[in-house]
Every structure is written in structure tokens, then in C-alpha cells.
Amino acid sequence: MTLRVQILKDKLSQSLGLPFQELLPESAIKQAISELKIKYKKRLFDPIITLWAFLSQVLDTDKSCHNAVSKIIAHLAEEEVEIPSSDTSGYCQARARLPEKLLEKLFNSSAKNLEEQMTEDHLWYGRNIKVIDGSTVSMPDTVENQKEYPQPSSQKPGCGFPIAKIGVIFSLVTGAAVALCIDVLNTHDIKLARKLYSFLKPNDVLLGDRAFCAYADIVTITKLGCDAVFRKHQSRTTTMRKGKIVGDCDKLVTWHKPKRCPKGLSKDEFDALPQSITVREIYYYIVIPGFRTARVSLITTLLDKSTYSTLEVIGLYGKRWDVELDLRHLKTTLGMDILRCKTPSMVRKEIHVYLLAYNLLRSLMWQAGTTYNTPPLRLSLQGTRHHLINFIDKLEAVTLQKRRRIYRTLLKVIVHKPVPDRPARTEPRARKRRPKAYPSMTKPRHELRKQLQTA
């Protein structure tokens, strides 16, 4: 058993582990296990091998447990050791033994380590920009998942899937996810955001859409020593007759404390809010054909117009769209949109592993971009994943010197075809390929089976 474990650790660290050795080396995993005081038995699927196999599983296009176990068997096939069973129960039990806190800690560490590689040249006026947004993920229709993350109330029982709401903060510089919150579907984005503000650091600037533009939240962000740039909530009217005009379509306005305590705030939190705050309001027009929004009103706590000009703030908010692309990478490119685990605990673990794998890919893109003087955000995450998967087999079967040369080649091919910058690109929101003409389920599957049997 000990020999097989060591062989797997060597092979995985040389192949899958090599590109991520700066952010997730074996020593970092062991340190996290030690800090959390996690005890485990000596078996083939110990926490380190299980984690590497889990990462490999979410990075692959075939995300089945059978494929993950098959890779482990293939790693051991050429060695003179006993081959493990192809049954997936041992691996699935090992994944279930992984503590959620361990995966959460490793995810947070991956984001922190990547951000430490940023320099002053990467910042916006010396400020680190973070972007926040919410989304949803679905999961298998099991009793446990339905109880923890109920399906939409508009769907009939047995005809829908459990859905979880996630809130994520991304770094605008690296593209990495830096904070995560998971809750039920009917949770408002702002409730998720209030659980994520603790991950902000002094001098950060937070971008968000109008769902986050609330009086209490702007106060909270400024108390943390940070600033915010949000789109103004639709419930607030826009007029240039009030406030101090500081430029074209740019003014300072005073917001007063709400008369009633908003939902989601305790009475003590509401009482602690100041009676008024001063914010800066900027509005502008979008005249690009095909864009849904014609007029945008921004609210920001960046009050100094001489330092943060109107055009610079507008340009900064224009980059908020990057968070939509980051979420698309997670859900569509990596396949997190539809999860596979059948219990709420495993669902949360799967989400954390997806975000950990996403951050590790971002770290590989960052290293490739900084090595070959290409903006890391202009690199293709899908292309990076393809190159990584194709290079893994080559990395594990060569000498150390040759492995380093192959790794340098990997970085070079990642930057070979950067994604073109296409501002104001417009495409019709329509699909050409028609879906199959199957009807949607309006009854549980067991009732439909009975109809077929009696027909």
C-alpha cells in the first residue's frame, strides 16, 4: 500500500502537480491538513491523492468517477505493484472523507497566493479591483439535495432539479475567484454579498451591478477602507437638479438613511448606520446597436474627480462584464453548471474543487502571460485546459531536465493564440441549431412510466 501511494504521489506531482506547484504543492496540502488537525488512515486514496484525482476529474471533459479511477489504474499499470479495483466505491468514499474546510482553505489559499504575484503595474491607480456577482448551479434530483437546496417553486415535484445560489468575488487583474458563498435559490444577491465583504482588503475597489447598490452596503464597504462602483438601483430616480455638479453628467449627491429597516439587516445594524452619506453619481449613454441598456447611472464612493476622472470610472465599470465571462468559464467551459454529486455536502465540495481548479488554470495563464509578455486575461481558459490535459502524459514520463523544457513549451503554446480584444462586439441573441422536439416533463418520471405501461 505504501509503495503504491508513493508511486501515485510521484506521478501526479510530476504531471498534474507540476503546472500548479507554486500554488498547490504537496507541502501546502500537508500543511493545511496539519493546521486543520485532520487524521486519516494509510490507504491508497489518502487526502492528497484523492484531491489530485478530484481536480483531474473536474478538469476533464469526462467527469465520471469511473474515468478518474481508470486514470489511477493507468498510473500504476506499468509498475510492479498490485493494481487497485476498477470499482469506484473506494474513490467515492475517499471524496466523502475530504473535509469541506480543507477544500475551502485550499481554495482561499490559491486565490491569496495568486494575488501576491501582482505588482503595482497591474493595479488601477494603485487599487486592486474586485468584481462581485451571483449565479446558480443545478444538481442531481435526490431527496437530500432537494431538502437542502429546493427546486424552484414554479416546478412540479419530480419534474425539476435542486438549485443552489452562489455568490463569487473575482479579481479583475488575475481573473481568479477570491471568495465564495453558497445558499438556497431564493436568496437575494445582496444577502450573499454581505457574507463576502469580509474577504475584501483595505484599498480594494468593488464593482457590481445594481442588485448590490444599497445604502447599508455602501456604508459597510467604506468602513472596510474600500470603495464601490455600482450601477444605480432602478428604484432610485435620476435627476440633475439635486447635488453638486462636478463635471458633465457627474455630480456629488447626498443619500439619507432609509426610514425603515431594510430586509436582511438587524435592528442594531440599522441603528448603527449614519444619517447620510455622500456618493458620486455618473450617468452616460450607450449607442451601440444591439446593446440592451441605453442609459447607465453609476454610484461610486470614489469622490475625488481629479484623481478618478469621469471617463476612467466609466471605463472601469465597463470591465464589470468580465465577471459574466468568468462565471461562464466556470459553468460552461469547466462544466460546473450541472453538478454530479448526490448529497449537499458533496455538492459544496464539488463547487470548491471546481473553483480551485479554475484558480489553478488562472495561475497557469498568469505564469504563461508574465513569462512571454502577454496579458494573462487575453489568454483562452479553454485552450489552457486543452493544452494542460494534452501535456500531462508527456510531463510524467521524462527526466527532470526534459520535464522543465516541456513545461516551458506548455507555457509558450498557451500564449500562442491570445483571444482578440473585440470591444462593442454585437451578436444576435438567438440560436441557429434547433433542439430536439421532445416535450418537457410535467409529471414525475414514475407516473410517466405507468402511462407507458397502461397505454
The position carrying cell 454581505 is 194
**How is residue 46 written as a grid cell?**
489518502
Contacts of 211 (CB under 8 A, 6+ apart): 134, 188, 189, 190, 233
Nearest partner of 214 among 183, 241, 235, judged by Cα: 235
Contacts of 386 (CB under 8 A, 6+ apart): none
* Chain centroid, CA 116 distance in Å: 18
Could you tell me the pLDDT band of residue 399, with boundaries at 50, 70 and 90?
Answer: confident
* Chain centroid, CA 453 distance in Å: 45
Q: State whether residue 127 is helix, strand or coil.
A: strand
User: According to CATH, what is the number of the domain 103-330?
Assistant: 3.90.350.10
Average pLDDT over every residue of 404-416: 90
Q: Specify the pLDDT at position 390.
A: 86
How buried is 313 (Cβ within 10 angstroms: 0-12 exposed, 13-18 middle, 19+ buried)?
buried
Is pLDDT above 90 for 420? Answer: no
State the number of CA atoms in the 13 A half-sphere of 325 facing the CB. 16
Average pLDDT over every residue of 198-202: 94
**How is residue 230 written as a grid cell?**
455600482
Is pLDDT above 80 for 65? Answer: yes
Is pLDDT above 90 for 45? Answer: no
3-state DSSP helix/strand/coil % of the chain, to nearest 5: 45, 15, 40
In which element (H, E) is residue 280 found?
strand 276-285
The position carrying cell 444577491 is 189
Average pLDDT over every residue of 372-379: 93
Q: Specify the pLDDT at position 341.
A: 95
In which element (H, E) is residue 183 found?
strand 177-184
Is pLDDT above 60 for 22? Answer: no
Is pLDDT above 70 for 34? Answer: yes
- What does the pLDDT look like over 97-138, one tens digit per residue? 999 999 999 999 999 988 988 989 999 999 999 999 999 999
Could you tell me the pLDDT band of residue 242, with boundaries at 50, 70 and 90?
Answer: confident
Could you state, in order of their start, the residue ranges of all structural domains in the chain?
1-98, 103-330
Strands 204-208 and 128-138: parallel
State the number of CA atoms in the 13 A half-sphere of 140 facing the CB. 12
Q: Would you say 105 and 36 are in contact if contact means Cβ atoms under 8 Å apart?
A: yes
pTM of the model: 0.91
**How is residue 318 written as a grid cell?**
465597463
How buried is 244 (Cβ within 10 angstroms: 0-12 exposed, 13-18 middle, 19+ buried)?
exposed
Q: Specify the pLDDT at position 21.
A: 56
Report angle CA 297, 303, 306 to the nearest 5 degrees. Answer: 110
Nearest partner of 222 among 244, 205, 245, 240, judged by Cα: 205
Could you tell me the pLDDT band of residue 18, with boundaries at 50, 70 and 90?
Answer: very low
| 47-59 and 381-396 helices, crossing angle to 10° | 130
DSSP state of 286: -
Separation CA 8–CA 191 (nearest Å): 43
